């Protein structure tokens, strides 16, 4: 997928989120994608003032670890008993606490 470094918009053709901005959003993803350069796109968007509010990650890997650490935003990861990808839907209001690992979800209307 491609994230616009200057605008924080998802530009991946065919992605259901194509055209949406990541600014102030909780990104819910199963794992990282591509190389460790994956994190550079998120860091560039942060420099432009367009940053995620946090991450919910089914299973963390080195690509995501680098991205999460470089953005300095909260993250909750490594779910064993449930898959957040099957529970959280686009438009849900999600609050996370990276210290306790608590994820709260208010379903969209």
59 close to 31: Cβ distance less than 8 angstroms: yes
35 carries an active-site annotation: yes
Query: Active site residue: 21, 35, 39, 77, which one?
Result: 35
Q: Report the relative pairing of strands 102-106 and 93-97 from DSSP bridges.
A: antiparallel
CA distance 77 to 55: 8
Positions annotated as catalytic residues are 35
């Amino acid at each position: 997928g491609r994230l616009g470094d200057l605008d924080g918009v998802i530009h991946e053709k065919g992605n259901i989120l194509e055209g949406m901005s990541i600014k102030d959003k909780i990104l819910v993803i199963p794992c990282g994608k591509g190389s460790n350069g994956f994190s550079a796109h998120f860091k560039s968007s942060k420099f432009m003032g367009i940053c995620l509010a946090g991450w919910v990650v089914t299973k963390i890997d080195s690509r995501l670890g680098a991205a999460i650490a470089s953005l300095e935003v909260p993250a909750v990861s490594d779910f064993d008993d449930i898959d957040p990808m099957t529970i959280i839907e686009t438009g849900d209001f999600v609050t996370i606490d990276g210290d306790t690992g608590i994820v709260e979800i208010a379903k969209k209307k």
